Amino acid sequence: MRVRRMNAALAALGLVVLAACSSEAGDDAEGPGATVPVEEDAEFDEGTTMAELAEAGAITIGTKFDQPGFGLVSPGGEPEGFDVEIAKIVAAKLGIAADGIEWVETVSQNREPFLEQGQVDMVVATYTINDDRKEIIDFAGPYYVAGQDIMVAAGNPLGVEGEESLADIRVCSVNGSTPAGYVQENYPEAALTLFDEYSLCAEALKNDQVDAVTTDNVILTSFVAQDPESFELVDNPFTEEPYGIGIPLGDDDFRSFINDVLEESFEDGAWAAAWDATAGAITGAEAPEPPAVDRY
């Protein structure tokens, strides 16, 4: 599906509008938004992915469609969130405006296959960099570091305090995710339910079909912020989840280019503005210090 920006007038002016269109993430005091100019004369070495994409004026990007704050399809049909804004910054530096981006939903377990099969040019989707995945794809970044945590029903009726509780409760996570892998490896006796999307886990928790949801704290924080009467974060993270931008294996020039773009965005304020307009606006959390890019 191609999802077009609502803000066509601004896109026509050659600007990427970083402020998300929804009232939630848009114009409140904590989410001022910002603009990153689309490169007018982006020039790249012939034969590189950057040259191909710039020439086409189009890029296909995998992201989440059901994760508030990071990648959530708005009622207008277009994804919004921190990952979405990071992806738009990269596209802008390729000379591609927001209306040249085709968004494809990548649930956790689709990310590597979609990159391997060429269905997407890159994936920005709360995607943890790790060695197993690096055998199949490559990562630019990290651009954020999360940690695995646990979300329970408001009031924490079972008194869940941290990861040790996972052995004794009904817990939900997502196929192909690092948090699911962590539970399977460290708490094989856990009653683990796996869905394809975290929103389904949140629904199962709300309906008392599970006792907890486990994944990255920032994903859970946004679910809690949206429905604090139903959910609560245990807030005792137990892993490190550095988020990277997934690209096809071996495309070192593209990886270097994205790393340059990320570092520039850390320095010129675009990264912090993207945070403030999205995950920051939803959760009230200030933009953290950006992590150091790992040019492995």
In the list 110, 128, 217, 222, the residue contacting ligand GLU (rule: CB under 6 A) is 128
Segment (H or E) for 186: helix 178-186
How far apart are the two ends of the chain, measured CA to CA in Å?
A: 34
In the list 49, 63, 215, 283, the residue contacting ligand GLU (rule: CB under 6 A) is 215
Burial of 153 (0-12, 13-18, 19+ CB in 10 A): middle
In the list 49, 108, 214, 259, the residue contacting ligand GLU (rule: CB under 6 A) is 108
List the structure tokens of 255: 């990886």
214 binds ligand GLU (CB under 6 A): no
CB of 37 to ligand GLU, least distance (A): 30
In the list 65, 114, 127, 275, the residue contacting ligand GLU (rule: CB under 6 A) is 127
List the structure tokens of 245: 């931008």
Coil/strand/helix, residue 101: strand
- Per the listing, tokens 């199949």 go with 136
Site residues for ligand GLU, 233-272, by CB under 6 A, read 241
106 binds ligand GLU (CB under 6 A): no
Residue placing its CB nearer to ligand GLU in the complex, 11 or 146: 146
- Per the listing, tokens 């890019």 go with 293
Residue placing its CB nearer to ligand GLU in the complex, 163 or 216: 216
79 binds ligand GLU (CB under 6 A): no
Query: Who contacts 105 (Cβ-Cβ below 8 Å, separation ≥6)?
Result: 62, 63, 64, 65
CB of 222 to ligand GLU, least distance (A): 12
Query: Which residue has its beta carbon closest to ligand GLU?
Result: 177
CA dist 114 and 6 (Å) reads 27
Site residues for ligand GLU, 152-181, by CB under 6 A, read 174, 177-179
CB of 103 to ligand GLU, least distance (A): 16
Coil/strand/helix, residue 25: coil
Residues that bind ligand GLU (CB under 6 A): 108, 125-128, 174, 177-179, 215-216, 241
